[in-house]
């Protein structure tokens, strides 16, 4: 019985330790069209993007659904390391690699690449209070034109 108590206490300690704690950034985030913009002035009317993320110490799980065009929802899913190195990304024709690295407690760098060429470079900033996310970056269109963007999200 003593042995069982020791094992149970160890299990509780491990599960409640910070290494096992959920990230404060985990969860569902919904876009705020009124606060978002593109440098070319062509931000889509009715922009609606929902992002679900889960972070571990060394990994990001990402799922998003863009329903700006309700008749053609666009989904993206990936799981990747936070080591900053390019990893395979099969979700889109425009990108075949993704590199993600944690810059500090509330900021991440995400690079989406095609054969090593950065097509989208973005920085995610989570507010310290855990209520908002801002994605800022520069992306190159399939036609080779670049634009900067700033997209605001609130926790759902």
Q: Which residues contact 20 (CB under 8 A, 6 or more apart)?
A: 14
* Euclidean distance between CA atoms 156 and 153, whole angstroms: 9
Task: Provide the Cα torsion 27, 97, 125, 141; round to 10°.
Answer: -110
pLDDT at 92: 80
* Euclidean distance between CA atoms 114 and 76, whole angstroms: 16
Q: CATH classification of 22-155, choosing from 2.40.128.20, 1.10.3720.10, 2.60.40.10, 3.10.20.10? A: 2.40.128.20
Q: Which residues contact 134 (CB under 8 A, 6 or more apart)?
A: 124, 125, 150, 151, 152, 153
CA 87 from centre of chain: 15
pLDDT at 19: 46
Per residue in 50-99, pLDDT (tens digit) is: 999 999 999 999 999 999 999 999 999 999 999 999 999 986 888 999 99
> Does residue 13 register a pLDDT over 50?
no
Segments of 27-73 assigned E as strands: 27-31, 37-38, 49-55, 59-66
Q: Are 55 and 25 in contact (CB under 8 A)?
A: yes
Provide the β-strand partners of residue 53.
27, 62
| 3-class SS shares of the chain: helix, strand, coil, % to 5 | 15, 50, 35
Helix (H), strand (E), coil (C) string for 99-121: EEEEEECCEEEEEEEECCEEEEE
Per residue in 122-155, pLDDT (tens digit) is: 999 999 999 999 999 999 988 999 999 999 999 9
Domain ranges in the chain are 22-155
Token pair for residue 135? Answer: 């994605």
């Amino acid at each position: 019985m003593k042995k069982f108590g020791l094992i149970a206490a160890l299990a509780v300690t491990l599960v409640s330790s910070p290494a096992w704690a959920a990230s404060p950034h985990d969860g569902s985030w919904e876009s705020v069209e009124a606060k978002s913009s593109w440098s070319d002035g062509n931000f889509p009317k009715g922009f609606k993007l929902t992002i679900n993320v889960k972070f571990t110490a060394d990994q990001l799980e990402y799922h998003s659904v863009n329903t700006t065009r309700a008749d053609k929802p666009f989904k993206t899913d990936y799981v990747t390391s936070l080591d900053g190195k390019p990893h395979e990304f099969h979700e889109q024709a425009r990108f075949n690699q993704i590199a993600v690295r944690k810059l500090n407690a509330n900021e991440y760098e995400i690079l989406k690449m095609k054969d090593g060429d950065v097509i989208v470079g973005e920085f995610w900033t989570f507010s310290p209070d855990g209520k908002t996310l801002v994605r800022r970056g520069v992306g190159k269109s399939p036609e080779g034109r670049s634009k900067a963007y700033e997209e605001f999200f609130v926790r759902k």
